[in-house]
Amino acid sequence: MHSKIKKGWIVVWLLVGLISLALVPVVRWHTQAPLIHSTEGFHNLRAAELLNEPSSLGFIIGRTNPNLYHYALSLLLRVFDNINAVVWFHVVLGLVLVGSAWYTLMKLNLSPKLVSISLGLLIVSPSFVYLFTQPIPAGFGLAMAALGLALLLSPNIEKLWCRLIAALVLILSIGSGLLFLVSALIIVLGVLNLRKFKGFVATVMASATIIFYLLGYHRAIHLALSHPAAIINAIVFDFGGRSGFGFGTLVLGVIGVLFTWKSHKALTTVYLILIAAVLGLFMLNDLSALSLFSVLYVFAGYMVIKLLQHKWVLPALKLTTLILVCFSFGFSWMNSITIGIAASPTPSEGQAIEWLGNVKGEGSVLSAPTYAPIIQALAHRECFPDPWLNSNTAFNRTLSLLYSRNLKHTKQTLKQYNISYILITKKMLSGGVWNSADEGLLFLLRNNETFKRVYEVNGNQVWQVLS
Amino acid sequence: MPKLSHRVLVLFAFLFVFGIRVYFAAQHGTFSSDESYYVLRQAEHIKATLTPIYNDPLSYGGKFVSFLPTYHYIIAGLSFFGSNVLKLFSALVGASIVVVAYLIAADITKHKYLAVLGGLFAGLVPAFLKTSLNSLTPKVLTLVLFFVCVYYVIKIEKARGGFSLLLLFSVLLSLVSPIALLLVLVLWVYSGLLKLQKLKLRSKSFEYMLFLTFLTITFNQLALSKLGLEWGILGLISGVPSSLLKQELLGLSWVGIISSINAILLLLGVYGAYIAVQKWSEKREVSLLLSVCIVFVVAVMLRFVDLTQAVSYLGVTFAIMSVYTFGELVAYIKKLKLRLPGGLLTMLILTLIALPVLGFGLYEANSQAEKAIPNYEIRGLLWLANNSEEDVCVLAPLELGHLVTYFAKRRVIADTNFINSKDIEERLRDIALAYTTPYETNAIEIFDKYGVGYIFLSPRVKNRFGIDKPSYVADAKCFEMVYNQTVQIYKVKCTLK
């Protein structure tokens, strides 16, 4: 009976996971929009493409820090020669995560009900939808770590083939983001209560952070420092995060930690290390930091069960609260799906960028900074600002170009950076960059001696710089 | 002499505060806060179309606004009966804090007569009068509903019923303002404080806490999700630009904060809290009031609420806590073996304490009433509504932003609705520069940038920027005075080519 429940639920969750993950790519594919829709996704895609170029010799020194994930991605592109295959590969990775997490949690003797609900919450989380539909190392590393753990806990680990596969996936996990494995270790050590390993874990965490930092992953430090509340943006999806937790899940998870505190009070040191690691990691990569928080889904699942089991004074209030909880989960999930579907590049933006790719002529393309990696990946043209350089000066120059009404200064800057085309999308015109028709650069475009409109379809425009 | 019932006394206290509010509000036909006119604009739009303005074409040259519209619907409904009813409604809601504070104080201290004084003091907290007198902002109703919920939580903690009413008021609070999220935090901090005392939250309170947590999350997800996703948490915070925040913080120094609560009230409240904490383990509701203080202090530090609003909540909490001090004082007087009748001496001392609180409250009420929008400004703005081009932007300071959009129905560079507004700091700098620059080209550059067609100049504006008029308006080719009463309006005729 017990095994029947297990098998039944895993099939259900794999199916739900598939629906949750496939919804955005299927709708985008149906509307003929590019399946990749995140700046980071395009960035990683371009890195993988560059690795396939003969001149790169496997390195893109000075432009990015390729890790094992990028090599895996470049291999995939070589085999399939289709960027959409990258997205479907990630969907499969998401299912691998669901299956592996199920197996690992069951092996750790958690109740099937708790495992089911926790996985359910994971599947409808904005993080899951984002990480496993976009080419992002965090998703890959997390799936590999989960698979590695599942293999380590499997009875077949005594066999050589299983050990080899486990070693391979764990190396892939480490190579695409060292701290994923460490996070998994902490979770396992925490659950198994192996206190003697705490010192070891702390050492590994410290070394991992230093190595990671030395490798050059020191971005987004300003995020944590700009405002005390800014860090919440990255954690809570409903407050502007790219992925993050739904507000409801986060609240339930925190309540779950508080309610189970007595039973895991002994692990305070482990939790403190985890919190320190997460806060430190936020300065490096917020998506990786979020992955360390994955254990929160188990606590949220625990609280859902508590809510269901608790004998309420007013049963109607119980029902209302449960409906509100479900609504909160569903709302965050729906929002993440809607955002994914409507995100840039839209079908018409994709067409305009494709047109830019086909047009002959040298020079780079100016657009809003969010479009730069998309143009590079889809049109294979140089862009301003160069997304690889990630420089504040270039970013500020772009803003000054987009908002300036000084023709002389604009012409000088365009010449200085060899800009020959300007991509203006419908989103940029309707509040994305400008609010009125004669604001900044739009005012200067009236000058037909300097600018010529060469493309306009569905509100997306391409302007050529004449002199 | 027959002793008056405490219920009659609280009715007198309520009528006194209500009377003060009505008296000062009735002295002027207009409201005292610019924000009231934003509420009125939303209400009028609701009356006309049944929906609030979400895409505001006038604020900041056009932007998306996101908010909980329940209060605006209430005002839209009441506005059918005329503006006097709105003023009465505002006074009624504001004065009702007397009754709510009395109920809480009487419940937790058992000093029913002294609680009347606590209620009266709550109604006269200067910061609360500043936010609420002759004003239509949702902050008034929010504060009252917040303390009504606190009262019912105390009741259910004492297992004395009122659960259905608590649920009703909580739903209403969650629909009116995101401050409901702070009530959730208050409850969680409260349960933490109980834990410290090795006490447990009652089942009903626990269930209520869970219910309210998800209720507020859901309502705010629904109302603010678009804004939250686009702007993040920083957009959802009060959004006050740092330059204004500095001004607010500098303007409200420690002395300012103390006077906003009222120094005497603060002393009485702090001492009351000290007495209450001594009996902490017996009186669990004290922890609830302390939680209110903790949460609002943290909230103001994180800029989730503005300083005046937070001080209002703290002031009302101190007024409630001051009843402990009165109780101690009365008990002390009773112990003294004086020749004077104990009752008379108590009355005398309490009157001596109450008089400065009343005096300061009346002073604040009067100064708030004097801030009512002058009629000559409204006449000037109405002239603009009838004589200017529809898509033009009017140069007016931040404090007059909502007045321009309400009366003149024209675009403004900035108003006090900071959430989801771009380049606030730059806009504020440009407004100041446009009024004060001696250089015509600087001014015209700014006018070109925002499409400004008219300059609004009233005594308030002159006082704000320390000018008689901008020096560049002397150039008659570019600036024409089109309205010249107490207010002057100049038309901008030039652009930079």
- The candidate with the shortest Cα–Cα distance to B34, out of B124, B127, B123, B131, is B131
What are the structure tokens assigned to B43, written together?
């209400």
Distances (CA, A) of B53 to A52, B43, B47, B57: 53, 9, 11, 9
Q: What is the CATH number of the domain that holds B429?
A: 3.40.50
H helix count then E strand count, chain A? 23, 5
The predicted structure's pLDDT at residue A340? 86
- Give the end of a domain, one of B369, B404, B419: B369
What span, in angstroms and rounded, lies between the C-alpha atoms of B373 and A83? 62
Interface membership of B218 toward A (CB under 8 Å):
yes
The predicted structure's pLDDT at residue B94? 94
pLDDT values of chain B reduced to their tens digit, one per residue, 497 residues: 456 688 888 999 999 999 999 999 888 888 888 889 999 999 999 999 999 998 888 888 777 777 888 999 999 999 998 888 999 999 999 999 999 999 999 988 888 888 998 999 999 888 888 888 989 989 999 999 999 999 999 988 887 778 889 999 999 999 998 889 899 999 999 998 888 888 888 888 888 999 999 998 888 777 766 655 555 545 554 455 555 555 554 445 566 666 666 778 888 888 888 888 887 667 788 889 999 999 998 887 776 787 888 889 999 999 999 998 888 888 888 777 666 665 777 778 888 888 888 888 888 888 888 888 999 999 999 999 999 988 889 999 988 999 999 999 998 998 888 776 767 778 888 999 999 998 888 899 888 888 899 999 999 999 988 898 898 988 888 899 999 999 999 999 887 75
pLDDT interval class at A222 (50, 70, 90): very low
Residues B77 and B202 in one domain: yes
- Give the end of a domain, one of B369, B397, B428: B369
**Between chains, do A307 and B210 touch, taking CB under 8 Å as contact?**
yes
What are the structure tokens assigned to A134, written together?
């976009």
The predicted structure's pLDDT at residue A181? 52
Distances (CA, A) of B102 to B126, B149, B272, B320, B495: 18, 14, 15, 7, 61
**Between chains, do B221 and A332 touch, taking CB under 8 Å as contact?**
yes
**Between chains, do B230 and A240 touch, taking CB under 8 Å as contact?**
yes
What span, in angstroms and rounded, lies between the C-alpha atoms of B211 and B5? 38
* Residue-wise burial string across B440-451, b where 16 or more C-beta atoms lie within 10 A, e elsewhere: beebbbbbbbbb
The predicted structure's pLDDT at residue A418? 87
**Between chains, do A313 and B204 touch, taking CB under 8 Å as contact?**
yes
The predicted structure's pLDDT at residue A215? 53
**How distant is the Cα of A228 from the closest Cα of chain B, in angstroms?**
7
pLDDT interval class at A26 (50, 70, 90): very high
Is the residue at B261 inside a domain? yes
Residues B283 and B408 in one domain: no
| Model pLDDT for residues A36-79, shown as the tens digit of each residue | 888 888 888 888 888 777 665 444 444 456 677 888 888 999 89
Residues B390 and B307 in one domain: no
Interface membership of A85 toward B (CB under 8 Å):
no
Contacts of A320 in chain B (CB under 8 A): 211
The predicted structure's pLDDT at residue A218? 41
**Between chains, do A229 and B237 touch, taking CB under 8 Å as contact?**
yes
Residues B361 and B392 in one domain: no
* Range with the poorest average pLDDT among A218-222, A411-415, B128-132: A218-222
CB neighbourhood size of B438 (10 A): 9
Q: Which residue of B203, B215, B236 is in closest CB contact with A324?
A: B215
Residue ranges making up the domain that contains B460: 375-492
Contacts of B63 in chain A (CB under 8 A): 435
Better-predicted residue by pLDDT, B100 or A80: B100
Highest mean pLDDT among A94-103, A163-172, A432-441: A94-103
CA atoms within 13 A on the CB side of A98: 32
Q: Which residue of A232, A240, A247 is in closest CB contact with B217?
A: A247
The predicted structure's pLDDT at residue B341? 65
Residues B138 and B27 in one domain: yes
The predicted structure's pLDDT at residue B379? 93
Look up the pTM and report it: 0.79
Those residues whose C-beta lies under 8 Å from the C-beta of residue B423, and which sit 6 or more positions away, are: none
The predicted structure's pLDDT at residue A277? 65
Q: Which residue of A239, A312, A320 is in closest CB contact with B233?
A: A239
Interface membership of B387 toward A (CB under 8 Å):
no
Which residue intervals of A283-346 are DSSP H helices? Answer: 286-292, 296-309, 315-342
Distances (CA, A) of A358 to A32, A353, A406, B344, B417: 18, 9, 31, 96, 46
Is the residue at B497 inside a domain? no
Interface membership of B214 toward A (CB under 8 Å):
yes
Residues B262 and B403 in one domain: no
Residues B418 and B295 in one domain: no
**Between chains, do B225 and A236 touch, taking CB under 8 Å as contact?**
no
Residues B414 and B326 in one domain: no
Q: Which residue from A minimizes the CA distance to B301?
A: A228
In DSSP terms, which residues pair with A236 in a beta bridge?
A245
Is the residue at B388 inside a domain? yes
**Between chains, do A251 and B217 touch, taking CB under 8 Å as contact?**
yes
**Between chains, do B302 and A228 touch, taking CB under 8 Å as contact?**
yes
Distances (CA, A) of A347 to A43, A343, A383, A433: 19, 10, 20, 20
- CB contacts under 8 A, B 79-98 vs A, are none
Determine if the peptide bond prior to B356 is cis (ω within 30°).
no
Interface membership of B163 toward A (CB under 8 Å):
yes
Is the residue at B157 inside a domain? yes
Interface membership of B236 toward A (CB under 8 Å):
yes
Is the residue at B481 inside a domain? yes
Interface membership of B245 toward A (CB under 8 Å):
no
- CB contacts under 8 A, B 28-67 vs A, are 61-64
**Between chains, do B225 and A331 touch, taking CB under 8 Å as contact?**
yes
What are the structure tokens assigned to B372, written together?
């009512």
Is the pLDDT at A104 greater than 70? The verdict is: yes
**Between chains, do A321 and B303 touch, taking CB under 8 Å as contact?**
no
Residues B26 and B126 in one domain: yes
Is the residue at B347 inside a domain? yes
Beta-strand runs (E) in B396-458: 411-412, 452-457
Q: DSSP letter string over B367-403?
A: HHHHTSPPHHHHHHHHHHHHHS-TT-EEE--GGGHHH
- Give the end of a domain, one of B369, B385, B408: B369
What span, in angstroms and rounded, lies between the C-alpha atoms of A140 and A94? 9
Residues B65 and B99 in one domain: yes
Determine contact, residues B283/B193, Cβ cutoff 8 Å.
no
Q: Which residue of B167, B214, B233 is in closest CB contact with A325?
A: B214
**Between chains, do A331 and B218 touch, taking CB under 8 Å as contact?**
yes
What are the structure tokens assigned to B192, written together?
């933490």
**Between chains, do A321 and B229 touch, taking CB under 8 Å as contact?**
no
What span, in angstroms and rounded, lies between the C-alpha atoms of B457 and B435? 9
* Range with the poorest average pLDDT among A61-70, A319-328, A415-424: A61-70
Name the DSSP letter for residue A431.
I
Cα-to-chain-centroid distance, residue B53: 22
The predicted structure's pLDDT at residue A450? 85
Is the residue at B1 inside a domain? no
ipTM, two decimals, is 0.75
pLDDT interval class at A2 (50, 70, 90): very low
What span, in angstroms and rounded, lies between the C-alpha atoms of A122 and A327? 15
Interface membership of B495 toward A (CB under 8 Å):
no
- CB contacts under 8 A, B 329-358 vs A, are none
Name the DSSP letter for residue A310.
S
Residues B393 and B312 in one domain: no
**How distant is the Cα of A23 from the closest Cα of chain B, in angstroms?**
20
Is the pLDDT at A191 greater than 80? The verdict is: no
Is the residue at B139 inside a domain? yes
Look at residue A445 and give its three-state secondary structure: coil
Q: Which residue from A minimizes the CA distance to B225?
A: A238
- Number of folded domains in chain B? 2
Residues B110 and B201 in one domain: yes
Interface membership of B159 toward A (CB under 8 Å):
no
**Between chains, do A230 and B232 touch, taking CB under 8 Å as contact?**
yes
